[in-house]
Amino acid sequence: MFEDFVLDSERRELRRGGGLVAVEPKVFDLLVHLVANRERVVSKDDLIAAVWKGRIVSESAVTTAINAARTVLGDSGETQRLIKTPPRKGFRFVGEVQEGSGTDAPAVAQPKEAGGPNSGLASNASLAVLPFTNLSGEIEQEYFADGITDDVITELSRSRELFVIARNSSFQYRGEAADIRRIGSELGVRYVLEGSVRRSGQRVRVNVQLVDASTGVHLWAERYDREIADVLAIQIEVARAIVPMLVAHVTMAELERSATRPPTTWEAYDHLVKGLALLRTFQSTFGKDDLDNARASFERALQLDPRYARAHAGRSSSWLQAWIHNLDQNYLSQDALARAEEAARLAVQSDALLPAAWAQRGFVAVWQRQHAFSLESFERAIALNPNFCEYRYAAALAYDG
């Protein structure tokens, strides 16, 4: 166990093991506010209003104060045992707190024991989707299992009331024996969804199960046996089953409104997920063949379904990568940038409710120096899906100053 911290708001003192801990006044006020509001996520605006009394402060000032608060408690931005930072949502104190009264019994903030059954778990409807296991026996089918996982994450994240961990965080557990309690603790989520995909000929079987990360108890499981042509509906069915369980007041109408237009054929979807897998490989290898093959997959998907917005967004990304990286004659070519813009525009036209389409439109605009439009596009993507985690937004903000 760790030593207790005593947070005395009347004396404005932080003590540990009977001794005073040096802490700056603003950092002390920040700790008091986070502990007092530990049942919810505190937004940055809320924090500025309470600690800085509404004065205009920079993003770095808030970050510095949060880091200082973590330091005095023996926490860090990497472990986030006590102060969590849900992406774009704010901050939350997740340590155990024992309330006191008066100066004789001040509030006691106690860090949770590392690896405990509830360590770091959020109390709200938070979820991580682990990469589905490929049971097809063919390594080349890995992309298909990843594609199903990505789409389940996307469908679940459409709920404004459900906090869904981003793909890059949950995919770090690929190939590991799933210790659900540990994963839940490390990611700070209450629930974990795991599954498997077996593709054989013209049929596909998807198994999914929802687990309470604090207890390891299985809450729900389902098996989907489908013709390959019907695979596109599985991720939506999974979302419709899980969301009402985790968030009682979310409605099916919300899912219906937010659902994007699916492709007209499963073959188009197959080419899409191949292209996305190759695009991710390119981001590691920077190999021209990977990028060219990714674009070819997106173009084959569009031949089958010319209004497939996700394929247009992928094709746009492939052209923009060709423009950014010195691979061939497309490097810094106006033609490549124009093709990237055209494909991004077609993505938005094909499906104006697709966050990835607006994000790609925004990223192209960064390099066209259309900074106001770029930020507007990224904000549109986030408004459509508050869980949408898009690292390229940082580039847009940086270039805009």
All domains of the chain in start order, with CATH:
5-110 (1.10.10.10), 126-258 (3.40.50.10610), 266-399 (1.25.40.10)
Is residue 363 very low, low, confident or very high in pLDDT (cuts 50, 70, 90)? very high
| Mean pLDDT across 97-120 | 47
Strands 126-129 and 163-164: parallel
Q: pLDDT per residue over 208-227, tens digit each?
A: 888 888 788 887 788 888 88
| pLDDT at 105 (0 to 100) | 39
List, in order, residues 6 or more apart from 313 with CB less than 8 Å away: 343, 344, 347, 354, 356, 357, 359, 360
Q: How would residue 120 be classed by pLDDT, with cut points 50, 70 and 90?
A: very low
- 318 or 20, greater pLDDT: 318
Distance CA 134, CA 145 (A): 6
pLDDT of 166 strictly over 90? no
For residues 325-353, average pLDDT:
94
Q: Which residues pair with 193 in a beta bridge?
A: 129, 210
Mean pLDDT of all residues in the chain?
80
Residue 100: is its pLDDT beyond 80?
A: no
Residue 259 has pLDDT above 60, yes or no: no
The 10s digit of each residue's pLDDT in 190-209 is: 788 898 988 887 888 888 88
Q: Which of 232-236, 253-257, 265-269, 329-333 has the highest mean pLDDT?
A: 329-333
More confident residue, 230 or 134: 134
pLDDT higher than 80, residue 348? yes
Is the pLDDT score of 183 beyond 90? no
Q: Categorize the per-residue pLDDT at 109 as very low, low, confident or very high, splitting at 50, 70 and 90.
A: very low
* pLDDT over threshold 70, residue 358: yes
Bigger pLDDT: 330 or 119?
330
d(CA 129, CA 241): 14
Q: Which residues of 237-256 are buried (b: 16+ CB within 10 A; e: fewer)?
A: bbbeebbeebbeebeeebbe
